A and B are shown apart, each in its own frame.
Chain A
Amino acid sequence: MNATVALLTRRSLLGRTRTLVLLLLPMALLGLCALAQVLAALDDEFARELDGALAPDLLEAFGIAVLMPLLGLVTGTGSIGPEIDEGSIVYLLAKPVNRYSIVVTKLAVAIAVVVVFGVVPVAVAGVVLTGEVGSVAGAFAVGALAAGVAYSALFLMLAVVTRNAVVIGLIYALIWETLVGGLVPGAQALSVQQWSLAVVERVLGDSAVRLGVESAVGFTTGLVLLLVTTLGATAYAGWRLQRLRLNAET
């Protein structure tokens, strides 16, 4: 971990446009929650639905499936992609600094941003929707954290490996995880969303069935795969950073 790298990363990550994009996501989520509360106030039956399976549905469909992947994409790639693209990464590499340390520090910054812009809003959304600081809010916050960490690590690694990291990340999160996952059950075993959902399921415990939260993978499988992905992606990113080629115009 390196404080200077962290500082530089934070400054370049939270630029004007990127922060705007990062804000858009949780704002949309919280807007939805506000709407749901308004509707619940107007109709009792709706309020009951909300207490039931509707809240977890919302949190899963929007929080875990849309918010976290996009956040992870923007922060994961943004924490190292532009520097490699522009060549300014040379100022970090032409130093007696361990490459793995650079990667880990950048990942930490990305995770911190994801927590602020993603995990906290999901927790708040959970509280607002269910009306209590309860197991639903907590479970989904933990799940969002798991997803955020894994996505950030994965997309940071992608950004070190290729210059088209954003598009490839999009294809993974959208086409692989959602479309293909919907059609081919096997694909769901290789989906960060499903792994995070397994974590949510476990934290909810018995109420998971009642609330309609079900993951395609078991808890142990999900947790192990999350860890393997995060650690593996980070290690590989460091290895590739060591071997990064800097050239005049590329």
Chain B
Amino acid sequence: MSETTPAGAIHDIGYRRYEGPRLGASYIRRSLFLETLRGSFGLGRSARSKIMPNLMFGVLVLLAVVLGLVAGYFGMSELPMGYEEFVFSMQVPITIFLASQAPVAVSRDLRFKIAPLYFSRPLSRPQYVQARYAGMAAALFVLTAVPLTLLLAGALLAELPWREQLPDYVRSIAGAAVAALVLAGVGLVIAAMTPRRGLGVAAVAGTLLVLSGLQGTVRALAEEFGDAAFAGYAGLISPFSLVDGVMAVPLGAESVMATPPEGFVMGAVFCAVAALLVVGCYGSLLLRYRKALR
């Protein structure tokens, strides 16, 4: 005997759809942002990955603390190294931090081709890039702002007049924010060029160092040559000196350079270049991730 086989049916075996509240796209973006930020300091990752970034962070913090202590101990009338100088002088640890962490933010997704997983969620390409960019920039900001704040604290404890310290401090914090945006952009774009982590680290560090060296050398040549304006424009070459220039003219800070940019025109050029760089890096990242979806 045989029965006519019934038409296909899906049986209720207790599987339940999730009908509850779903956190929206903003939650995803916030999570991605936080993951990038925390991941840059090794939080949420293996113990080994915490060493490098926190080592660099520690160097900066240590220096800030030492400067404050020295000012206090010797009863100096001002800090041995100013706030504006601080970020510029700490180029190397900041570069190493960025070089080692930028690949973590972007190369991993590209290397293991898991970028499509992100985009199968309600997360658009611009939102993904924004979250990653913002996370990296926030990490760099923390990296610089915390030591700067400790520097202020040290200065105040050394009984330096706060009326003098505060404006400089505020300017340098603004500068740190600009630096964070510019450096994060440059670092992420370079790191996203290669899925290999080692090469990404070397490429980011190499580029920033070469630009820095170029900047110094071109500036030295221009100064030898005797053209101060030319020397001022040399600051456009390296992101660090670019930020220094942005701080010098519009924000009125004291520049680190012997030949800083001066005047409205130069100031405007510096700001424009900085803005263009940020926008350009963002655009490049968008393009890179369009390719990643194939």
Contacts and interface: CB of A to CB of B under 8 A. Distances in A.
Indicate yes or no for A touching B, C-beta below 8 A.
Answer: yes
Nearest to B93: A175
B210 interface: yes
Contacts of B210: 24-25, 28, 66, 70
Given A78-B198, A167-B52, A21 B225 contact: no
Contacts of A148: none
A61 to B, nearest CB: 7
B284 interface: no
Main SS class of interface, A: helix
Contacts of A214: none
B252 interface: no
A177 B59 CA distance: 16
Contact of A58 (B197, B217, B226): B217
Interface string B213-227: 110111001101110
Interface residues of A, number: 41
A184 interface: no
Interface stretch (A41-49, A98-106, A109-117, A226-234): A41-49
Contact of B203 (A17, A85, A171): A17
Given A24-B207, A43-B226, A61 B217 contact: yes
Contacts of A28: 210, 213-214
B209 to A, nearest CB: 6
A90 interface: no
B202 A166 contact: yes
Contacts of A70: 202, 205-206, 209-210
B92 A174 contact: yes
A29 to B, nearest CB: 9
A128 interface: no
Interface string A118-134: 00000000000000000
Interface residues of B, number: 31
**Residue of A21, A61, A66, A82 ringed by the most chain B CB atoms within 10 A:** A21
A42 B199 CA distance: 40
Contact of B217 (A62, A85, A167): A62
Interface string B90-134: 001101100110000000000000000000000000000000000
A74 B225 contact: no
Contact of B201 (A31, A35, A58, A166): A166
Interface string A9-36: 0000000011011001100100110011
**Residue of A42, A74, A170 ringed by the most chain B CB atoms within 10 A:** A170
A59 to B, nearest CB: 11
B202 A17 contact: no
A32 B221 CA distance: 9
Contacts of B201: 166-167, 170
Contacts of B194: 17-18
B224 A46 contact: yes
Contacts of B207: 21, 24
A54 interface: yes
A160 to B, nearest CB: 13
Contact of B206 (A46, A62, A74, A159): A74
Interface in A47-78: 49, 54, 58, 61-62, 65-66, 70, 73-74, 77-78
7 contacts: A17-B199, A21-B203, A32-B217, A166-B198, A170-B202, A174-B205, A179-B92
Of all A-B residue pairs in the complex, the 7 with the closest CB atoms, nearest first, are A17-B194, A166-B201, A66-B213, A166-B198, A70-B206, A21-B203, A39-B225
